Amino acid sequence: MKLLLLKTKIPDSERFIRRCGYGKIFDRRSRQVSYARRLRHDLYPRFHVYIDDRDENWQFNLHLDQRATVYKGTTAHGGDYDGPVVEGEAERIKGFVV
Supply the pLDDT for residue 77: 58
C-alpha dist (Å) from residue 19 to 14, 35, 41, 48, 72: 9, 11, 19, 15, 33
The two beta strands, 79-80 and 23-27, are unpaired
The predicted pLDDT at position 10 comes to 96
Domain that holds residue 14: 7-37+49-54
Tell whether 84 is covered by a domain.
no
DSSP sequence for 45-67 = SEEEEEEEEETTEEEEEEEEE-S
* Distance (Å, whole) CA 1 – CA 52: 13
Mean pLDDT by 10 residues, the chain (98 residues): 96 97 94 95 94 97 87 65 96 95
Give pTM, 2 decimals.
0.87
Q: Is residue 82 part of a domain?
A: no
Residue 90 backbone dihedrals phi, psi, to 5 degrees: -60, -45
Number of domains, the chain: 1
